[in-house]
Amino acid sequence: MHRLAFGPRRCVIGRQLVAWNPYVSVAHKRQEGGQLSLLKVGTHYAMLLDEPGFGKFPIDLVHLRVDKPEDLDGIEVLWSQIFTAEMAHYSNKLKLIQSTGAGLELVQFDHVPNGCQVAIVHEHQWAIAEWVIMAMVSLNREVLKLDRDVREGRWEHHPINSFSPSGTELNSQTLGIVGFGHIGRQVSKYASALGMRVKVATRNPSSQAVASGYGAESVENLNRLPEFLSDCDHVLVTVALVDETESLIGQEELNAMPDNACLINVARGPVVNEKALYQALHGGHIAGAALDVWWQEPNKPGELPKSSKYDFGDFANVLMSPHASAMTKEVMQRRLQAAYANFDRIKLGEPVEGVV
């Protein structure tokens, strides 16, 4: 049985040991003849099976710490969210860069070697969809405020003191989903099951039949976004960050939202205009926000960037988390399985899944 000694946290999931430690780098090389070298550079996670046979060939690996780019020499498969020019200098045999997630903003594509594929893995849509439901319920029921009231000994909202409930149920509300990929579709299924009216706006509108299959009653193009937002109680942002989606949600879009609406962002921070959102919250133009992604985030160990130039923590109606909506044990397990399946495909000469 293999054991991984470097991680401060470990847990057993099923029949596998999963150990993780942010930003740890671990190289994996096959013992038999070195036919396939596997490398995990865990910018978020480094993981290890406790027994072989996850894929189509036995996984029997020697575990080596990777501390500098030259340790990549001879490696054929890289598991990482980061790829830099310095890493490329030692990656002449690299066949696959397997991202540990769906984000590729830290991969310098100009330096990816010729013939090397880059693949992403999702497997996070269920976890993020749960987080979104949690966020909508928390904002509807003012959970942060009520929690603080009890901690501070205030009882204004106890039934004996209040006959005017401020909470709202999801089943009376409309959810507008901006983006309809893996995450948007799963949220639509969950939200519609709770009785919400769901509608979708996306860059590449699916057919109405596809949208209906996920519980959405309509699907529209992003070019009518202000009109789309005008009757939403909650707006979920879940589009990829590309040139045309930067500041997609700006002053015009926020002003179009009802003043009782909340914005939820699980995409990337810059999809929402930073200043416009702060001003909308400060001026009471929207009722609240749930932010899991930020305009500045750490790119390497030890970094402590300020998440925004504005202090969103001043608002009692803003729920904040550090890009953690997908951080569940189950997501890690599924991503590990998907990554090892791609390692198998490289070994067997089969097409890799998730190539961008």
Q: Which residues are catalytic?
A: 268, 297, 323
Within 10 angstroms of residue 247's Cβ, the number of other Cβ atoms is: 14
Structure tokens at 343: 């390692």
Instruction: Tell me the two tokens of residue 211.
Output: 């949208």
3-state secondary structure of 137: helix
The candidate with the shortest Cα–Cα distance to 66, out of 95, 48, 42, is: 42
Asked whether the beta carbons of 22 and 66 are under 8 A apart, the reply is no
Report which of 244, 254, 241 is spatially closest to residue 223, judged by C-alpha positions: 244
Q: Measured between alpha carbons, how far is 146 from 316 in angstroms, rounded to an integer?
A: 11
Distance CA 202, CA 95 (A): 33
Please answer whether residues 177 and 187 qualify as being in contact, where contact means their C-beta atoms are separated by less than 8 angstroms.
Answer: yes
Sheet holding 288-291, edge to edge: 218-221, 197-202, 174-178, 234-237, 262-265, 288-291, 318-320
- The DSSP symbol for 83 reads B
Q: Which residues of 322-352 are buried (b: 16+ CB within 10 A; e: fewer)?
A: ebebbbbeebbbbbbebbbbbbbbbbeeeeb
What token pair was written down for 46? 């480094």
In this structure, the number of other CB atoms found within 10 A of the CB of residue 65 comes to 11
DSSP 150: H
